[in-house]
Chain A
């Protein structure tokens, strides 16, 4: 205090001013300096980030443009009617073509490490004149979704040609690679045309063969077709003129036995509740559409209900299909992984149906079914092993039938 008191007024003022300057200096250096450097660092990093962001936005726009182009391109190129671009019915119904062999393969999968592709082959063998074959070839070549995997055209008469085709369809969309194949072998019932007596090269070469054939025909009428066939077409199976398919016709006794092995729930609800308890034990049930229809609210409450059936009714499950049938409202699900699902499908011979399942991930699983007999026929489908269960039976589409058809007796099982 003494020191302060001994100071003159001027000196005290000087100290005061210096103290203020010191405070300002301290603030600028120690506090503000740090804050400013922090601010500058943030600002520069933000500027960098903004620059990066602008680059990102530019890149994003670029990628979006690319995506638009790809989408447009793929939209145009994608095979939207996979498996349906070549209708074998038109070939079969065309009188110009004598079809000897038809086969639709399963859906096969190709994976070259980069892209999964699925394809289906239609193998056709037919006899016709040159113009018809030329037109058929033109139709296939001009369809951008059809590819000629193999093409063998052989002259078998003066104006008679046999063509063996493998028409392939591709898709990059995910479809199951096990499907229902369709195969048909017909007898060639019509004989090769009569001889001509022309003296040109064509007549002399091809008439000679026909003479040989006609000699064989006279030698033994029962063997004639076989001989012609062996010389011309190895694939023709003379013993069987039936449609061959992996679809097995249902036998009633088998069906009854099959039913014995499953828990059956009827629509009077007595077994229904018990059935639900059993459901927890993952036992397979059969379902009945009428029951589901009548109890749709209850069924919806129990989303995990699988299959219900009314054993007392002969037509255990009947869903009427007129062209297309949406099953989504029925909530028909295969809860646990099963090997097979079988059902009986009503309809005309040659009816082609497409059955769509939807798995838990939302992937569509498509099966194509071809009927080989009139009326109810048991269809057995190998369920996919790589699907994400539950599998929902959501849609059935009839392709070439104008008549209404029905589905009944849906059973899932594991036994072979």
Chain B
């Protein structure tokens, strides 16, 4: 029987056990690296998001508020000009009336006074007979002037007439 070398056998077992222990370290190192990598990756992404959230936009809101305020002012200005346009259209009535009076009046029917302001437009005139007034009235109606024959009175041997319009009615 061949004698057994217990010392050699023990050595071999120890060496095997050491090698096995080193092998066991590999998953630990792998795990630690994986955890570190994952952690770093997550942290970087969080930092990026944080950066984005800070820079996203205070300037936009400021710009918007400024624009809104300036547009608000501009709108007031626009409203003012719109109001002025309405005022101008009322003046067109005066221009139209002057043209009609120029065309439709003669020595027997004529105006003596025209008064125009933002809230009042009136024409005073004289006529030798009623039919002339009727003709003028017809003419004014067809030309869509906002004037109404408000008064006719007989003075001595001629008629006095008054056209008027309440400009506020238009508003």
The residues in B between 73 and 94 inclusive whose CB is less than 8 angstroms from any CB of A are 73-81, 84, 87-88, 91-92, 94
* A: contact size bracket: 35 or more
A66 touches B60 (CB 8 A): no
Residues in B107-166 with C-beta less than 8 Å from chain A: 107-118, 126-128, 158
- Complex CA gap A198/B76 in Å reads 58
Q: Mark B residues whose CB is within 8 Å of A.
A: 24, 27-28, 31, 35, 38-39, 42-43, 45-46, 49-50, 52-53, 56-57, 60-61, 63-64, 67-68, 70-71, 73-81, 84, 87-88, 91-92, 94-95, 98-99, 102, 107-118, 126-128, 158
Given the known A-B contacts A43-B49, A53-B57, A141-B91, are A151 and B114 also in contact in the complex, defined by CB atoms under 8 Å? yes
Q: With A63-B71, A149-B118 given, is the CB distance from A170 to B42 under 8 Å?
A: no
Which listed residue, B24, B76, B94, touches A16 by the CB 8 Å rule? Answer: B24
Select the residue from B43, B78, B91 with max chain A CB neighbours within 10 A.
Answer: B91
> Which of B46, B80, B102 sits near A134, CB closer than 8 Å?
B102
Contact residue among B43, B63, B113 (Cβ-Cβ distance under 8 Å from A154)? B113
Main secondary structure of the interface of A (DSSP, over half): helix
Task: Render A23-43 as a binary contact track against B, CB cut-off 8 A, 1 for contact.
Answer: 110010001100110110011
| A53 partner, pick from B56, B71, B78, B95, beta carbons under 8 A | B56
Q: How far is the CA of A311 from the CA of B46 in the complex (A)?
A: 77
CB < 8 Å neighbour of A141 from B24, B45, B95: B95
Write out the residue numbers on chain A whose beta carbons fall within 8 Å of the beta carbon of B128.
200-201
Q: Are B46 and A60 in contact (CB under 8 A)?
A: no
Name the one of A66, A77, A147 contacting B71, with C-beta atoms under 8 angstroms: A66
CB distance from B68 to the nearest CB of A (A): 6
- B88 contact set on A, CB distance < 8 A: 141, 144, 147
Least CB distance, A197 to chain B, in whole angstroms: 13
Kindly identify which residue among A60, A141, A201 contacts B63, using a CB–CB cutoff of 8 Å.
Answer: A60
Interface residues of A (CB under 8 A from B): 16, 20, 23-24, 27, 31-32, 35-36, 38-39, 42-43, 45-46, 49-50, 53, 56-57, 59-60, 63-64, 66-67, 70-71, 73-74, 77, 114-115, 117, 130-131, 134, 137-138, 140-142, 144, 147-155, 170, 172, 198, 200-203, 205
Cross-chain contact B57 with A56 (CB below 8 angstroms): yes
A137 with B94: CB separation less than 8 A: yes
Q: How many A-B residue pairs have CB under 8 A?
A: 152
CA distance A117 to B27 in the complex (A): 83
Q: Which of B46, B70, B81, B114 contacts A35 (CB 8 A)?
A: B46
Q: Is the CB of A63 within 8 A of B64?
A: yes
A155–B108 alpha-carbon span in the complex (Å): 14
Check A56/B52 contact, CB under 8 A, given A141-B92, A147-B84, A148-B116. Answer: no
Collect the chain B residues with CB atoms within 8 Å of residue A70's CB: 71, 74-75, 77-78
Q: Is the CB of B49 within 8 A of A42?
A: yes
Between A46, A144, A148, the greatest number of chain B beta carbons within 10 A of the residue's beta carbon is seen for A148
Complex: how many Å from CA A335 to CA B94? 51
Contacts A153-B114, A201-B127 known; A147 to B87 CB distance under 8 Å?
A: yes
Contacts A60-B63, A115-B76, A148-B94 given; does A49 touch B56 at CB 8 Å:
yes
